[in-house]
Amino acid sequence: RRGVQTALLGTRLADAAAAGCDIAVVTTAPGSTSQKNVQRRGCHLLFTRAVLVKECD
């Protein structure tokens, strides 16, 4: 809770804008603190992806 992720995200978004990028894409775990941080920076949820796993016997 020291703001490091938010600071890094802000720098990456500023660098992307300075480089002429039109969009930024971020992948996080659904419902995670990272998702909340990214949404606070103005990103909107596009979709949720399911990752399915089966243990091998």
pLDDT, tens digit, 9 for 90 and up, residues 9-19: 999 999 999 99
Residues 41-52: tens digit of each pLDDT: 999 999 988 889
Burial code (b: 16+ CB inside 10 Å, e: under 16) for 30-50 equals eeeeebebbeeeebeeeeeee
Q: What is the pLDDT of residue 11?
A: 96
Residues spanned by the domain of 41: 1-57
Q: Chain-wide mean pLDDT for the chain?
A: 92
Q: How many domains does the chain have?
A: 1
Q: Tokens 């809770």 label which residue?
A: 1
Specify the pTM.
0.73
Q: What is the pLDDT of residue 2?
A: 83
Q: What percent of the chain has pLDDT over 70?
A: 98
